[in-house]
Amino acid sequence: MSFRPFTRRSFVLGAAGVAGAGVLSACAPGENAPTQTQKPGGTSPSAAASKDPSQLGDITLVVWDQEVRGSQNDALVALNKAFQEKYPNIKIDRKSQSFDDLKAQASLALSGNDVPDVMQVNNARADMGQFVKAGQLTDLSPFAATYGWEDRFPTSVLSKVRYSADAKTFGEGNLYGLPQTGEIVGIFYSQKKLDALGVKAPTTWDEYFAALDAALAKGEQPMVLGNVDKWPALHVFGPLQAKYVAPDEIVKLGMGNAGASWTDEPNKAAMKQFADWGSKKYFGGSPNGTDYDAAWNDFTKGTGVFLPGGSWLGTDMEAVMGEDLHFIAPPPAVDGKLATTGGTGIPFAIPAKAKQVEAAAAYIDFITTSDAMKLIAENGGFPVLDTASLAPEKGVQKEIFEAFDKVSQEGTLLPYLDYATPSFSDTAGQGLQEVLGAQRTPDEVLADFEADYKEFTG
């Protein structure tokens, strides 16, 4: 998950019932968990991973999370209750706090000896990557074999929580966390506006460009963007990049892995298109001076035809726009397959110095089962698995769920570009704002991107 968008999200979700908690269950681990020795990137559990949690004796499991908003909190409360009912010998000591507070405490806690057993850890290089490098997180690969996580989760989802033991490679290697929720960046649109323009929802990039041109010709603002905080532009450029750049190259760039370049011709074409949108006022007169929340609120009140944005906006905008609001994944990438920026909620990880590793793994397994996904959806959340089958019967949430399922299962869930290096959030945010405002040329900004990326990858 990208740090900046998460802190800006509005999860003003209505609390729903948690009656489904009682149906949750978790299978006991298999009898023969793989044995691994400790690695530089964190401890690896041994064959003790095969223990049945009910046989661990009376213990307290300390859990630190940031699931403090509406549906997020409701779902985890229900899951914790169900886990303790299944394993009455395990008491959960939950400490829930804001993402910012948890992020601030994580580094200090993990470097000490008094650590929680389960902790949500942001999976970007600046957070999880640094903790892996320091040997402060447990490699969950043996538990993945025990519980069948690799069968349960799509490869594109698990890649967001994989690092090599030395943390040099992101997206491959050991497993250091498991997410509950998903997110996808796509394109919201107003059906009334499309009808007035006489165009249909685009299915190709050429059709999207034509719809934008039609809107501009009719005096409509083609797209809405509030980029005063700089990070929102990454949610416009990221999906657009896939029109020109092969998804596997974007993955290398976005995950800070060596072997790609920001200054090749495809990336230049993508940045030039983004710059053209800015200079020709496709985002209105002052996107860099508009607040993110103000922008999407303006969209619900009739400003603009399209809004490139994340799935987390759907609930709030639907409350205002109703059936007029729709969502699509961006058109297929240059390779003909769906690809767009997206990711997971903050993964649940196990600190290397956790006291109750086996119980912690059982807990993480329990809160990511199919039954758990159902409960998350029933509470208004966005589960990372089974999204198509758990989609609402109608409305924009149905479209969002189905889009995520199709991209994560059949296409490429591209990383947030600020995953790339510990400093890339600032580099990319500043650069895209400067391109959008025509303060610098696309080539100049891409040169900065390349310098940050090359310095990190060596």
Is the same domain home to 93 and 41?
yes
Provide the number of structural domains found in the chain. Answer: 2
Instruction: Determine the Cα–Cα distance for residues 272 and 288; give it in Å rounded to an integer.
Output: 18
Least confident of 39-53, 71-85, 86-100: 39-53
Condensed to tens digits (0 to 9), the pLDDT of residues 431-456 reads: 999 999 999 999 999 999 999 999 99
Q: Which amino acid is at 101?
A: D
Q: Note whether residue 391 is domain-resident.
A: no
230 vs 42 pLDDT, higher one: 230
Is the same domain home to 317 and 450?
yes
CB proximity list for 145: less than 8 A, separation 6 or greater: 33, 34
Is the same domain home to 306 and 449?
yes
Is the same domain home to 203 and 258?
yes
Instruction: Determine the Cα–Cα distance for residues 63 and 145; give it in Å rounded to an integer.
Output: 23
Nearest to 342 by CA among 405, 414, 290: 414
Instruction: Determine the Cα–Cα distance for residues 284 and 348; give it in Å rounded to an integer.
Output: 40
Q: At 47, is the secondary structure helix, strand, or coil?
A: helix
Of the three residues 386, 414, 441, the one that is the final residue of a domain is 386
Is the same domain home to 29 and 160?
yes
Domain assignment of residue 66, given as a range: 3-181+345-386
Q: At 163, is the secondary structure helix, strand, or coil?
A: strand
Q: Note whether residue 226 is domain-resident.
A: yes
Mean pLDDT of 203-217: 98
Is the same domain home to 187 and 68?
no
Mean pLDDT of 151-156: 92
Q: At 342, is the secondary structure helix, strand, or coil?
A: strand
Instruction: Determine the Cα–Cα distance for residues 422 and 130; give it in Å rounded to an integer.
Output: 9
CATH of the domain at 426: 3.40.190.10
pLDDT of residue 6: 40
Is the same domain home to 243 and 350?
no
Condensed to tens digits (0 to 9), the pLDDT of residues 334-383 reads: 999 999 999 898 999 999 999 999 999 999 999 999 999 999 998 888 89
Q: Note whether residue 17 is domain-resident.
A: yes
Q: Note whether residue 296 is domain-resident.
A: yes
Q: What is the mean pLDDT of the chain?
A: 89
Of the three residues 386, 414, 445, the one that is the final residue of a domain is 386
Least confident of 27-36, 341-350, 385-394: 27-36
Q: Note whether residue 392 is domain-resident.
A: no
pLDDT of residue 294: 95
Backbone angles phi, psi at 108, to 5 degrees: -65, -45
Q: Quick one: tokens of 424?
A: 């890339």
Q: Note whether residue 32 is domain-resident.
A: yes
Instruction: Determine the Cα–Cα distance for residues 383 and 149; give it in Å rounded to an integer.
Output: 15
Is the same domain home to 82 and 219?
no
CA distances from 248 to 173, 263, 330 (A): 17, 16, 17
pLDDT of residue 205: 98
pLDDT of residue 3: 38
Q: At 364, is the secondary structure helix, strand, or coil?
A: helix
pLDDT of residue 9: 35
Condensed to tens digits (0 to 9), the pLDDT of residues 246-293 reads: 999 999 999 999 999 999 999 999 999 999 999 999 999 999 999 999
Is the same domain home to 221 and 152?
no
Q: Note whether residue 209 is domain-resident.
A: yes
pLDDT of residue 30: 37
Reported confidence tier of residue 1, pLDDT bands at 50, 70, 90 = very low
Condensed to tens digits (0 to 9), the pLDDT of residues 88-130 reads: 999 999 999 988 888 888 888 998 889 999 999 998 888 999 9
pLDDT of residue 272: 98
CB proximity list for 36: less than 8 A, separation 6 or greater: 44, 45, 46, 139, 141, 142
